[in-house]
């Protein structure tokens, strides 16, 4: 985020005004207000509207006050009393109009993420013709009508094909498009350039509120994080707003500054950067597969979101591993929707009778932690446990990736035992032998979660496994060390 300072006049409750200065600095952003007309109380104002001295309209959204007070300054022979307050704005919009965050006024939202050029590797969109002798006269035909231009022996031509839209997909949350946004200079003795920025656009079927637009943007960002193999930072957010769904009305554009915008892990280690040939999906060469997976992935978002948020949270740690990450990687399977895990199984008659008898006996006792825990455990009989849920998802992955990964079930079983060691304490589990492999076990759980999610959405995992051979994605890195780490893990447990 660019660090900006904006100054202007802000509207306060009860038709009052105050001078305000906004410092846009990510999580350290601050709106400072001062007034001579009385104390400033913001407990009734979640959103504040202002107009900067260069006539820009500013809306501070979801403000939280954190300090206030008063003071006096001497002006000549007199003292002037003033009041001030500071607050933290979660979002700030800047443009030609204010926005009501609670009203459906957003027509579309546009943003960039860290790895768009790797995920949407439209290699042929831009290029450079080194030997341009066959075409240089055609290129210069218009200019030569205005003035003589001498062509040398080694002409070069830089180009953009002009195709702005990389891909466009209709989804349940709106039409998603990824587009080129090139910029250039006019040339001259210092040279010429064409620079490009790729932008994601999401246009809902009807107007939505500000917060709904941000939520939908986050859905797309989480999908891109999974495809990239690392959390995607969000930048350059813009809204196009309208007062109504009247298509004749001209949408207005607003810049959005998000104080807590997602950022990828701060590590600058280059091997975490996704490589176009290693990422699971290729929207350029296999656009139908990409569209199919994206649409189905978003269709299941409401039920899967709690688990997916935890997965992206794991990705945000980059190459930092600890017990908390392993526990989180295992627990995200436990909150998957019922459709994604095994169905409950009916208990045999004799076992069901024993369950009922035990429950009847236990319920006669006074409530206690031990009694309640035992009842809870009995009631879970026949229902899918965490190990069963993980094994169910692992089986799906193995079926699509082939026999090389047959022992993936063994690895995730150890990962669950490691998780239980941290959560429940002492067991017969040989943790000291497994401890050096915690990162491998964590990666196994994260790999199974994400790969099975994409497979369920229609991803051709077998094709990816056959074509990709690098380490430019978290899937590819896990695969590259799989055989070696599995062999060393077995030796450690046998030793």
Nearest 5°: phi and psi at 178?
-115, 125
C-alpha 282/C-alpha 119 separation (Å) is 7
**367 and 393 belong to one structural domain:** no
- Give the end of a domain, one of 248, 271, 287: 287
Whether residue 249 is found in the same domain as residue 161:
yes
The reply to whether 134 and 257 lie within a common domain is: yes
Task: Based on the fold, state whether residues 393 and 358 are members of the same structural domain.
Answer: no
Is 315 within the bounds of a domain? no
For residue 487, count CB atoms less than 10 angstroms from its CB and return exposed for 0-12, middle for 13-18, buried for 19 or more: exposed
Same domain, yes or no, for 207 and 266? yes
- Domain match, 146 and 279 both: yes
User: Does one domain contain both 60 and 161?
Assistant: no
pLDDT band at 3; cut points 50, 70, 90? low
Looking up residue 71, the CATH number of its domain turns out to be 2.40.10
C-alpha dist (Å) from residue 325 to 23, 267, 333: 34, 17, 13
Alpha-carbon distance of 119 to 285, in angstroms, equals 12
Are 370 and 400 contained in the same domain? no
Asked if 207 and 112 sit in the same domain, the reply is: yes
Range of the domain at 52: 4-92
**Residue after which a domain boundary falls, among 63, 92, 121:** 92
Looking at the predicted structure, is the pLDDT value of residue 1 above 60? no
Kindly tell me if the per-residue pLDDT of 66 is higher than 90. Answer: no
Any idea which residue has 């975490």 for tokens?
272
Shared-domain flag, residues 228 and 166: yes
Q: Supply the pLDDT for residue 427.
A: 67
Kindly report which listed range (46-50, 300-304, 426-430, 432-436) carries the lowest average pLDDT score: 426-430
Output the pTM of the full model. Answer: 0.91
- Residues 261 and 223 grouped into a single domain: yes
pLDDT digits (tens, 9 = 90+) for 248-271: 577 899 999 999 999 976 656 677
137 and 73 in a single domain? The answer is: no
Give the pLDDT confidence of 381-425 residue by residue, as tens digits: 888 899 999 999 999 999 999 899 999 999 999 999 999 999 988
Residues whose CB falls within 8 Å of the CB of residue 398, separated by 6 or more in sequence, listed in order: 405, 406, 408, 409
Share of the chain above pLDDT 90, in %: 76
3-state secondary structure of 148: coil
The residues, ordered by sequence, that sit 6+ positions from 312 with a Cβ below 8 Å of its Cβ are: 222, 225, 226, 231
CA 391 to chain centre: 27
The string of pLDDT tens digits covering residues 353-382 is: 898 999 899 999 999 998 988 988 888 888
- Residue 276 maps to a domain: yes
Cα dihedral angle (242, 246, 248, 251), rounded to 10 degrees? 10
β-pair partners for 20: 8, 33
Count how many domains the chain has. 4
Residue 292 lies in a domain: no
Q: What is the pLDDT of residue 72?
A: 78
Crossing angle of helices 301-315 and 323-331, rounded to 10° = 170
pLDDT of residue 2: 58
């Amino acid at each position: 985020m660019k660090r900006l300072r904006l100054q202007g006049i802000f509207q306060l409750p009860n038709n009052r005004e105050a001078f305000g200065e906004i410092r846009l600095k990510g999580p350290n952003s601050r709106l400072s207000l001062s007034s001579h007309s009385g104390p400033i109380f913001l407990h009734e104002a979640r959103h504040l509207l202002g107009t900067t001295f260069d006539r820009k309209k500013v809306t501070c959204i979801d403000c939280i006050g954190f300090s206030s007070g008063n003071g006096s300054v001497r002006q000549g022979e007199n003292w002037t009393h003033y009041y001030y307050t500071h607050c933290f704005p979660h979002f700030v919009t800047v443009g030609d109009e204010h926005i009501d965050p609670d009203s459906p006024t957003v027509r579309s939202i546009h943003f960039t993420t860290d790895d768009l050029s790797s995920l949407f590797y439209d290699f042929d969109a831009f290029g450079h013709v080194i030997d341009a002798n066959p075409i240089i006269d055609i290129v210069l035909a218009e200019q030569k009508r205005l003035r003589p231009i001498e062509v040398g022996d080694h002409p070069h031509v830089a180009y953009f094909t002009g195709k702005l839209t990389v891909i466009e997909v209709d989804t349940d949350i709106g039409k998603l498009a990824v587009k080129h946004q090139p910029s250039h200079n006019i040339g001259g003795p210092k040279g010429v350039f064409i620079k490009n920025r790729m932008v994601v656009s999401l246009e809902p079927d009807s107007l939505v509120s500000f917060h709904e637009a941000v939520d939908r943007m986050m859905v797309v960002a989480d999908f891109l994080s999974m495809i990239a193999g690392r959390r995607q930072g969000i930048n350059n957010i813009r809204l196009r707003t309208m007062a109504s769904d009247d298509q004749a009305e001209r949408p207005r554009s607003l810049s959005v500054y998000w104080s807590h915008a997602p950022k990828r892990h701060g590590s600058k280690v280059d091997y975490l950067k996704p490589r176009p040939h290693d990422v699971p999906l290729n929207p350029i060469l296999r656009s139908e597969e990409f569209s199919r997976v994206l649409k189905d992935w978003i269709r299941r978002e409401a039920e899967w979101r709690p688990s997916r948020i935890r997965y992206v949270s794991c990705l945000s740690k980059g190459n930092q591993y600890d017990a908390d990450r392993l526990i989180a990687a295992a627990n995200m399977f436990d909150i998957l929707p019922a459709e994604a895990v095994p169905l409950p199984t009916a208990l045999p008659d004799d076992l069901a009778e024993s369950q009922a008898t035990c429950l009847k006996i236990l319920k006669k006792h006074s409530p206690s932690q031990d009694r309640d825990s035992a009842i809870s455990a009995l009631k879970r009989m026949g229902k899918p446990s965490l190990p069963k849920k993980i094994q169910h998802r692992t089986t799906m992955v193995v079926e699509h990736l082939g026999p090389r990964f047959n022992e993936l079930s063994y690895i995730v079983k150890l990962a669950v035992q490691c998780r239980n060691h941290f959560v429940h304490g002492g067991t017969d589990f040989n943790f000291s032998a497994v401890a050096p492999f915690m990162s491998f076990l964590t990666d196994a759980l994260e790999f199974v979660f994400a790969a099975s999610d994409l497979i369920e959405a229609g991803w051709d995992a077998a094709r990816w496994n056959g074509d990709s051979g690098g380490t430019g994605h978290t899937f590819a890195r896990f695969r590259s060390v799989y055989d070696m780490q599995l062999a060393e893990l077995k030796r450690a447990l046998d030793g």
